[in-house]
């Protein structure tokens, strides 16, 4: 259901701002910012697997593992571009975005990949409640879903 009282452009702008802030927190390993951005439980999914993070400790373990994976690949920038955002209800935005990685000032050789995210208004702020990925094992977050931490 689309919220008739809120314009689609507002959802797009809010989603892009959220994605940009999330990238900044991931690249700087700022767990407190990540914790404030994520709901618990937090759901990560690929085409064939699902991981549900239920505790702050689980979220921290996943966040640290993602940061270490990015660092081990010398990722200097992550570019997430909101392609579509829609109001599912007045407190939920569904987001389609693409991600590209930069290392040493160059885009990495594999193609950008698409993801879906759900943002929910909780405690007066937007929080990420789920992410779904249609990608291969090259993506650091995918590794968190497909392998035990």
Is residue 2 included in any domain, yes or no? no
Is residue 139 included in any domain, yes or no? yes
Is residue 1 included in any domain, yes or no? no
Is residue 121 included in any domain, yes or no? yes
Using pLDDT thresholds of 50, 70 and 90, give the confidence band for residue 1. Answer: very low
Using pLDDT thresholds of 50, 70 and 90, give the confidence band for residue 14. Answer: very high
In the block, residue with structure tokens 């690929």: 46
DSSP 72-97: HTT--EEEEEEEEEEEEETTEEEEEE
Per residue in 23-76, pLDDT tens?
999 999 999 999 999 999 999 888 778 889 999 999 999 899 888 888 888 888
Per residue in 92-139, pLDDT tens?
999 999 998 888 777 665 678 889 999 999 999 999 999 998 766 546
Tokens at 16, concatenated: 């892009």
Question: How far is it, in rounded angstroms, from Cα 136 to Cα 140?
Answer: 10
Q: Indicate the DSSP class of residue 138.
A: T
For residue 70, what is the domain's CATH number?
3.10.450.50
Using pLDDT thresholds of 50, 70 and 90, give the confidence band for residue 19. Answer: very high
Using pLDDT thresholds of 50, 70 and 90, give the confidence band for residue 141. Answer: low
Instruction: Work out how many domains the chain is built from and give that number.
Output: 1
Is residue 106 included in any domain, yes or no? yes
Is residue 56 included in any domain, yes or no? yes
Cβ 81 vs Cβ 97: under 8 Å: yes
Is residue 137 included in any domain, yes or no? yes
Which residue segment(s) compose the domain that 97 sits in? 8-146
In the block, residue with structure tokens 């990238």: 23
Among 109, 99, 106, smallest CA distance to 132 is for 99
Is residue 3 included in any domain, yes or no? no
pLDDT at 140: 62
């Amino acid at each position: 259901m689309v919220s008739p009282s809120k314009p689609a452009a507002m959802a797009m702008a809010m989603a892009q701002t959220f994605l940009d802030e999330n990238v900044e927190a991931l690249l700087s390993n700022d767990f407190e910012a990540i914790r404030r951005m994520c709901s618990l439980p937090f759901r990560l999914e690929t085409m064939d697997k699902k991981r549900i993070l239920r505790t702050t400790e689980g979220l921290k373990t996943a966040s640290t593992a993602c940061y270490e994976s990015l660092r081990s690949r010398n990722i200097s920038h992550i570019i997430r571009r909101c392609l579509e955002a829609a109001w599912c209800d007045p407190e939920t935005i569904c987001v389609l975005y693409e991600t590209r990685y930069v290392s040493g000032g160059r885009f990495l050789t594999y193609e950008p990949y698409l993801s879906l995210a759900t943002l929910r208004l909780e405690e007066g702020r937007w929080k990420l409640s789920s992410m779904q990925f249609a990608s291969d094992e090259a993506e650091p977050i995918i590794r968190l879903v497909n392998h035990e931490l």
